[in-house]
Amino acid sequence: MACRLANSVLLFEGPQQRIVKGNRFALNNSAGLCHLKLESHVQTSIRDRHRNCSFSIRRSKTIQAAAVPVVPSPLESAEYRKQLAEKYGFTQIGEPLPDDVTLRDVIATLPKTVFEIDDFKAWKSVLISVTSVALGIFMIAKAPWYLLPLAWAWTGTAFTGWFIIGHDCAHKAFSRNKLVEDILGTVAMMPLIYPYEPWRFKHDQHHAKTNMLYEDTAWHPVWLEEFNSSPLLRKAIIYGFGPFRAWMSIAHWLMWHFDLKKFRPNEVNRVKISLACVFAFMAVGWPLIIWKTGIIGWVKFWLMPWLGYHFWMSTFTMVHHTAPHIPFKNPDDWNAAQAQLHGTIHCDYPRWIEILCHDINIHIPHHISPRIPSYNLRAAQESLFENWGKYMNLATWNWRLMKTIMTVCHIYDKEENYIGFDKVAPEESQPISVLRRVMPDFA
């Protein structure tokens, strides 16, 4: 136990006092307090008009000072991090990043080659996405009913690859020609009914202010005030952040990308163009699908793959930035390097998913610099492992990881980061209790 005693001063009253010998201290520490015994041997000279004398006095005083414990962060303990990793479904929980490390320091360690655009690799990714979606549509058309879920899973994952191409275009990491990027990004996202420009504006803010309270445009923890604002909203939040969390990106898509009031005046015209494109696809593409295949065909060939795409959109977003030990910070406390390197999660998925989704789950280097093309993320990750590996949060996709996110990471709390719904409103949180019982716990 360490004790701090600041600005301790002895005051001696009397005319013309002069201390001629030092002090002796006796320290007694008990019950969390420091008792400091101060013995002063003082020779004082007093002169007045009647006498001139000098004498020595010994004064004793006990000063009580509060103890200030020096407590290290629990994450500094390797054993504690190992226990958390096992509990949450991670392969590694990283050490806290030192406060003096900046994002510029991290970027400086990356090889310059990872920022280079390669036209062949870029258009190869487009070919992979187009052919994989075509294969998926063929499988849906030919598969018997009992194999349709597999065909939908493939096609929905392939659709996610189209979104990732638009994602690279939005970050100016696909082509040296910016017009080509804007056109391709718009076209790639149109079948997903995702307006390219509105998403780009909000996504740029997510990168600039990752895990910053109030400012990050990706998913936030739920505010307690919001949770308690109305019984109906509370029930919707419990289901949305619980059983239906793997499709919550649909709500995010609707809330953030179609309201012109959410954009600055200089952004509105570009937003309108993107909205016109997706509405045009709905006005032309949907009727064509229905004309050729009927309403059931629209469900089979578009809606079910679209829901599969949103499953990955929601799951990737959850896993990339959500864990009980990763905090959301107020703007005054926020640190870019900590948010991007330590606050972003790398998660390995089966290889076929990584190929169809263009390695987007190698997510830490993407947050270190969004200008790294998707086909260079693996090389950038290797460099980060070499230089910053002990600070990184790593996982391989598993049920325990998903169970942790869906049953724990709910309401914002400054001390604990998250509090589960079942702790705040146990009588209304039956969906969370059901998830705890039925979700597998395999890691």
- Please give the pLDDT value at position 212: 95
Please tell me which of 11-15, 30-34, 137-141, 214-218 the model is most confident about, judged by mean pLDDT.
137-141
| Rounded-to-integer distance, Cα 162 and Cα 46, Å | 93
Give the pLDDT band (50/70/90) at residue 219: confident
- Please give the pLDDT value at position 40: 44
Residue 45: count of CB within 10 angstroms of its CB: 14
Instruction: Judge whether 343 and 211 are in contact, CB under 8 Å.
Output: yes
pLDDT average, residue stretch 63-76: 54
- Please give the pLDDT value at position 72: 54
Sign of CA dihedral 114, 90, 204, 335: negative
Three-state secondary-structure class, residue 187: helix
HEC profile for 5-43? CCCCCCCCCCCCCCCCCCEEEEEEEECCEEEEEEEEEEE
pLDDT tops 90 at residue 207: yes
pLDDT tops 80 at residue 91: yes
- Please give the pLDDT value at position 373: 97
| Rounded-to-integer distance, Cα 214 and Cα 204, Å | 15
pLDDT above 70 as % of the chain = 84
pLDDT tops 60 at residue 41: no
Residue 311: both structure tokens together: 């499953």
Residue 143: both structure tokens together: 């598969």
| Amino acid letter, residue 29 | N
- Please give the pLDDT value at position 443: 85
- Please give the pLDDT value at position 31: 41
Segment 294-329, tens digit of pLDDT: 999 999 999 999 999 999 999 999 999 999 999 999
- Please give the pLDDT value at position 30: 41
pLDDT tops 70 at residue 89: yes
- Please give the pLDDT value at position 73: 65
- Please give the pLDDT value at position 77: 87
pLDDT tops 50 at residue 3: no
pLDDT tops 70 at residue 5: no
Instruction: Judge whether 319 and 393 are in contact, CB under 8 Å.
Output: no
pLDDT tops 80 at residue 50: no
pLDDT average, residue stretch 111-127: 97
Q: pTM higher than 0.85 for the full model?
A: no
| Rounded-to-integer distance, Cα 150 and Cα 232, Å | 36
| Amino acid letter, residue 66 | A
For 156-219, list the strands marked E by DSSP. Answer: none
pLDDT tops 90 at residue 95: yes
Give the pLDDT band (50/70/90) at residue 399: very high
| Rounded-to-integer distance, Cα 361 and Cα 125, Å | 16
| Amino acid letter, residue 131 | T
Segment 415-435, tens digit of pLDDT: 999 999 999 999 999 999 999
Instruction: Looking at 241-376, list the stretches that DSSP marks H as alpha helix, in order from N- to C-terminal side.
Output: 249-257, 268-298, 304-321, 336-337, 351-356, 363-368
pLDDT tops 70 at residue 172: yes
* Average pLDDT value over all residues in the chain: 87
HEC profile for 197-257? HHHHHHHHHHHHCCCECCCCCCCCCECHHHHCCCHHHHHHHHHHCCCCHHHCHHHHHHHHH
Residue of 400, 342, 330 whose CA lies nearest to 367: 342
Which DSSP letter does residue 416 get? T
Residue 175: its H or E element: none
Domain ranges of the chain: 1-71, 75-438
Segment 349-384, tens digit of pLDDT: 999 999 999 999 999 999 999 999 999 999 999 999
HSE-up of 352 (CA within 13 Å, CB side)?
7
